[in-house]
Amino acid sequence: MSKKLKPNFTPIPNVILDEIMRRISGADLKKILMTCREGDEVRIQGAIDRALQNAQKRAARHER
């Protein structure tokens, strides 16, 4: 088996999977997951904050 195919794991906080994932776009979720892979908590929180802001903006546009 290729080294690339051997299992390795990136821990994803449950709150992202349980609460945030359903409220944000696929593109924002990808950004958050890649940031989690890097493991920088400050950048993860920033990515989550930006994704939630984007979701609020999209919801406001749909209400008009």
* Distance (Å, whole) CA 34 – CA 64: 33
Residue 22 reports pLDDT greater than 90? yes
pLDDT in tens, 23-61: 999 999 999 999 999 888 999 999 999 999 999 999 999
Residues 35, 44 contacting (CB under 8 angstroms)? yes
How many other C-beta atoms lie within 10 A of the C-beta of residue 37? 13
SS3 39: coil
Q: In this structure, how many other beta carbons lie within 10 angstroms of the beta carbon of residue 47?
A: 21
pLDDT attached to residue 3: 77
Please report which helix (H) or strand (E) contains residue 6, including its range: none
The pLDDT of residue 1:
64
Q: What is the pLDDT of residue 49?
A: 95
